[in-house]
Amino acid sequence: GAGVSQSPSNKVTEKGKDVELRCDPISGHTALYWYRQSLGQGLEFLIYFQGNSAPDKSGLPSDRFSAERTGGSVSTLTIQRTQQEDSAVYLCASSLSITGSYEQYFGPGTRLTVT
């Protein structure tokens, strides 16, 4: 079946502009996660959704970052007034549920470059 998809695959933007990153999870997966991976670094957890709800937003790096999920499926991560330090690969993952301990399946990522 289809895996997790993300778009765009690459995004170059100017400092100060807003960007939207999209994630389509695996069909039937109720849990969705966003991570950030900077060059040579490990994955940094940003936020998770169970259904449309995001109970914990404390992982978001600043108030310029926001995320939403509609219809229990597609999610959008928005970065406002981008800064150069926002340059990274943004990865989305989905799993069957938040409860229990299910493996997460990752998309290919969106490489964001802020110039």
Cα 103 from Cα 96, distance rounded (Å): 8
By CB under 8 A, tell whether 51 contacts other proteins: no
| Neighbouring residues of 4: CB distance < 8 A, sequence distance ≥ 6 | 23, 24, 25, 26, 92, 93, 94, 105, 106, 107
Answer for which of 36, 48, 73, 114 binds other proteins (CB under 8 A) is: 48
The amino acid that residue 99 corresponds to is T
Site mask, other proteins, residues 89-108, x = CB under 8 A?
--x-x----x--x-xxxxxx
Query: Mask: binding to other proteins, 11-40, rule CB under 8 A, as x and -?
Result: ----------------------x-x-----
